[in-house]
Structure 1
Amino acid sequence: MTQSQAYPIGTPGQKWGDAERLEWRATTSIKREYQQEVVPKIKALKSEFVVEQYGALSYDEQRYPLFSIKSKNWQANKPTVLITGGVHGYETSGVHGALKFMATEAQHYQQHFNIVAAPCVSPWGYETINRWNPNAIDPNRSFYADSPAEESANLMALVANLPLEVLVHIDLHETTDTDETEFRPALAARDGIEYEADSIPDGFYTVGDSALPQLEFQAAVIESVAKVTHIAPADANGQIIGSNVVQRGVILYPMKKLGLCGGVTNCQYGTTTEVYPDSPTVSDEECNDAQVAAIKGALDYVVRHHYA
């Protein structure tokens, strides 16, 4: 399959310019409301946590303020946990899973950790159900100096201003059927390359950092999530989305090299979760619960081993 067959914008073999990016943006529309579905859940946590605005997107600063949720009693003798969701705004359980963890489980873990969550890094993407921002830039390939993505730059500034180094970072994502039907074909068209069809894994998996895999830690996340939803099997090539499966439900990426959110800190323990929301056997709430289970599995492991 070629990009010309797969995507209607652009000229095969040529990277998009400003005209194509504007043409793509014109195809987007608001499908759900950040201010109605997400912001009230964030503000509802004000009695238990410090809710702060750490930025706003220039596309519409009133519509798209960016919020963090932090432990009230920050203590220097406790390690810091960063939870990020909605870096890809269309990945719904990343947003609502982060919020559900903060509402239901975070208080328990504050005895061990300082916790900071950025539950919806890309609210424009959340509203338009998109992987990219309005400039056809992927925030999750833009975590580097002088980032072209406001979403990434704002989060990097938040992390840089934390009073302590981050020990644990859990970045909540989904792999959806639309990755294959829309977002990967669009990426190939944007970059002027041929689109090669792939398959979508049926189930949950994690992406660790190839520079610091922490495979026992990844296994603990998988074990916790397996109690909630099914784990993605390897394909016939022993891979998930083109990467070798190094153990059950785990692949590895070079986080910093690729500009991924998973590389935004120098954490000792990091994982990127990938929930599969399009399975006919799961519900939206099960997807949220899988994200909560992933965070719990990660933090329980660190409690057992970091404090041992």
Structure 2
Amino acid sequence: MTTPAPYPIGTAGVPWGSAEVAAWLTKQTRHRSYEKDVLSVVDALRSHFDVVEYGRLDYAPNSYPLVAIKSRQWRDDLPCMLVTGGVHGYETSGVHGALRFAQQHASDYAGRINLVVAPCISPWAYERIHRWNPHAVDPNRSFREGSPAQESAALLRLVADWRDRVLMHIDLHETTDTDESEFRPALAARDGVAYEPDEVPDGFYLVDDSEKPQPAFQQAVIAAVAKVTHIAPADRNGQIIGSPVVAPGVIEYPLRKLGLCAGITPARYTTTTEVYPDSPKTSPEQCIAAQVAAVCAAIDFALAHA
């Protein structure tokens, strides 16, 4: 029998209430600056792109503008491509991969696509290097009508007018050692269930949509990333994080059913990236480069098969 991992907040087997959430919140510390790391980079792109403030998070005493980079020459006859990062604020290369792509490659697609890049969906969590928002809610299980997460609701409002025209959506994530040392034990404690340890995959992998899989698209992204960093192998059970590996470096989830970010549009081509920054085989810079390679490959494939 698996016993709950000890966690310093709450009572084993009992879901958290408001007191436990408040106790958890007092332990969250600001480690970095959203304004310095994200907003300043976005501001420098204003000469080439439109910058849209699509919402604001008011988490006293902090307030965070939510920003997206958008093609200046938006045309109704062009396919829409959506890039999102930082749904989980602690997943650093997702944020900086989205920004790096916007800085170095987005202009290459001018006149060919309508592009939207939302680089940091969860700025409060980015600053605190955390997975949840201050209400202990995971935004990446909350992309649905009546969302309990302001971060998720704001992104849904951003895409509402053009969601049905999105051809490709790539959502940039990481899987880290803290998934097992902190975040999954915290989740088990929050929900009052037993924590069951799992392996952290060593390498890059993708999550396809099990309800409308696109295996050729996923493999095109994997092939591009393999030139930058290593692809995660299956574990001894032929799985990655408890899901069967359907192709090298690819698993599947029902994205919309689970309320995941990559399921917010009916796009033909969708994927969630996962890279492992704690691996001795890679570096933070390689992880960012892998995210950029994934975005470019995803857009290129979607354009070629539109």
Please report the RMSD computed on the Cα atoms of aligned residues, expressed in angstroms: 1.2
**Alpha-carbon separation, structure 2, partners of 1:61 and 1:162:** 34
Q: Percent identity at matched positions? A: 59
Amino acid at match of 1:134: P
Contact 2:163-2:266 at 8 Å conserved across structures: no
One-letter identity of the residue aligned with 1:209: D
Compute the TM-score of the two structures, normalised by the length of structure 2.
0.97
- 1:274 & 1:122 partners in 2: Cα distance? 17
Structure 2 residues without counterparts, runs of 5 or longer? none
Q: Which residue of 2 aligns with 1:135?
A: 135
Query: Partner of 2:249 in structure 1?
Result: 249
Give the equivalent residue in structure 2 for 1:204. Answer: 204
What do the CA deviations read for 1:46-99 (whole angstroms, capped 9, x no partner)?
Answer: 001001111110204864110010000001111000100000000001100000
* Distance (whole Å) between structure 1 residues aligned to residue 61 and residue 222 of structure 2: 38
Q: Counterpart amino acid of 1:83?
A: V
Residue 281 of structure 1: CA displacement? 2.5
**Is the 2:208–2:271 contact (alpha carbons within 8 Å) kept by the matching residues of 1?**
yes
Q: Secondary structure at the match of 2:168?
A: strand
- What pairs up with 1:153-172 in 2 under 5 angstroms? 153-162=153-162, 165-172=165-172
1:265 aligns to what? 265
Distance in 2, Cα, partners of 1:267 & 1:302: 10
- Aligned counterparts, 1:60-75, within 5 A: 60=60, 63-75=63-75
TM-score normalised according to structure 1 size: 0.97
> Unmatched 5+ residue regions in structure 1?
none
Deviation at 1:162, TM superposition (A): 3.4
Q: Which residue of 2 aligns with 1:302?
A: 302
1:211-246 CA-partner distances (Å, limit 9, x unpaired):
111000000000000000000000000000000000
2-structure distance, mates of 1:162, 1:257:
21
- SS of corresponding position for 2:222: helix
Q: Identify if the C-alpha distance between structure 1 residues 61 and 82 changes in structure 2 by more than 3 Å, giving closer, same or farther.
A: farther
State the 4+ residue runs in structure 1 displaced beyond 6 angstroms. Answer: none
Q: How many residues align?
A: 305
Contact 2:70 2:116 in 1 (8 A): yes
Preserved contact between residue 141 and residue 258 of structure 1 (Cα < 8 Å): yes
Q: In the aligned structure 2, how far is the partner of 1:207 from the partner of 1:225?
A: 14
Number of the residue aligned with 2:111: 111
Q: Quick check: 1:2 aligned with 2:34? A: no
**Amino acid across the alignment from 1:172:** L
Alignment of 1:8-23 (within 5 A): 8-23=8-23
Q: Give SS of 1:222's match.
A: helix
Instruction: State the SS of the aligned residue for 1:298.
Output: helix
Cα contact 2:94–2:288 (8 A) shared by 1:
yes
Q: Give 1:22 deviation, angstroms.
A: 0.6
